[in-house]
A and B are shown apart, each in its own frame.
Chain A
Amino acid sequence: MVGTFDLWGLTKTVLFYALVVFIVVVSVFPFYYAILTSFKTGTDLFRVTYWPTSFSWENYLSVLSQGSFPRNLWNSIFVASVTVILALFIAITAAFALSRVRFRGRGLLLMTILGISMFPQIAVLAGLFEVVRFLGIYNTPWALIFSYTIFTLPFTVWVLTTFMRDLPIEIEEAAIVDGATPWVIITRVFMPLMWPALVTTGLLAFIAAWNEFLFALTFTSSNLTRTVPVAIALLSGGSQYEIPWGIIMAASVIVTVPLVVLVLIFQRKIVSGLTAGGVKG
Chain B
Amino acid sequence: MTTEAIAPPVVVPGRAIKSELMRQRARAARWFLVPMMIALAVVAGWPLLRSIWFSFTDASLTNLVGANFVGFNNYLRWTTLASGRTVFQGLLVDPAWWNAVWNTLRFAVTSVFFEALFGMAVALVLNAEFKGRGIVRAAILIPWAIPTVVSAKMWSWMLNDQFGILNDLGMRLGLLSQKVAWTASPETAMTAVLVVDIWKTTPFMALLILAGLQMIPKDIYEAAEIDGVHPVKQFFKITLPLVRPALMVAIIFRLLDAMRIFDLIYVLTPNSVATKTMSVLARENLFDFDKFAYGSAQATLLFLIIAGMTILYIWLGKVRFDGGDR
Interface residues on B, range: 35 or more
A264–B136 Cα distance when bound, in Å, is 12
With A120-B279, A267-B138 as known contacts, state yes or no: A259 contacts B36, CB within 8 Å: no
Main secondary structure of the interface of B (DSSP, over half): helix
Interface centre among A23, A26, A181, A211 (most CB of B within 10 A): A23
Main secondary structure of the interface of A (DSSP, over half): helix
B306 within 8 A of A: yes
**Shortest CB distance A172–B (Å):** 10
A124 within 8 A of B: yes
B146 within 8 A of A: yes
A90 within 8 A of B: yes
B180 within 8 A of A: no
**8 Å CB contacts to A: which residues of B192-216?**
199, 203-204, 207-208, 211-212
Q: 0/1 per residue, A129-172, Cβ < 8 Å to B?
A: 11101000000000000110110011001000000000000000
Residue of B nearest to A235 (CB): B153
With A20-B125, A23-B122, A249-B157 as known contacts, state yes or no: A31 contacts B47, CB within 8 Å: no
For B302, what are the chain A residues with a Cβ–Cβ distance below 8 Å? 120, 122-123
A256 within 8 A of B: yes
B26 within 8 A of A: yes
Number of A-B contacts (CB under 8 A): 273
With A118-B256, A124-B47, A150-B43 as known contacts, state yes or no: A233 contacts B267, CB within 8 Å: yes
Contact A27 B40 (CB under 8 A): no
A selection of 18 A-B contacts at a CB cut-off of 8 Å is A24-B140, A27-B203, A28-B142, A30-B199, A101-B29, A102-B26, A118-B306, A122-B260, A122-B279, A123-B48, A127-B48, A130-B64, A131-B46, A154-B40, A182-B32, A252-B150, A256-B146, A275-B211
> Closest 8 interchain pairs by CB?
A127-B47, A127-B50, A123-B303, A97-B29, A120-B260, A213-B263, A94-B36, A93-B32
A contact residues vs B (CB 8 Å cutoff): 16-17, 19-20, 23-24, 26-28, 30-31, 33-34, 37, 45-46, 48, 50, 90-91, 93-94, 96-98, 100-103, 109, 111, 113, 115-116, 118-131, 133, 146-147, 149-150, 153-154, 157, 176, 181-183, 207, 210-211, 213-214, 217-218, 228-230, 232-233, 245, 248-249, 252, 255-256, 259-260, 262-264, 267, 270-271, 274-275, 278-279, 281
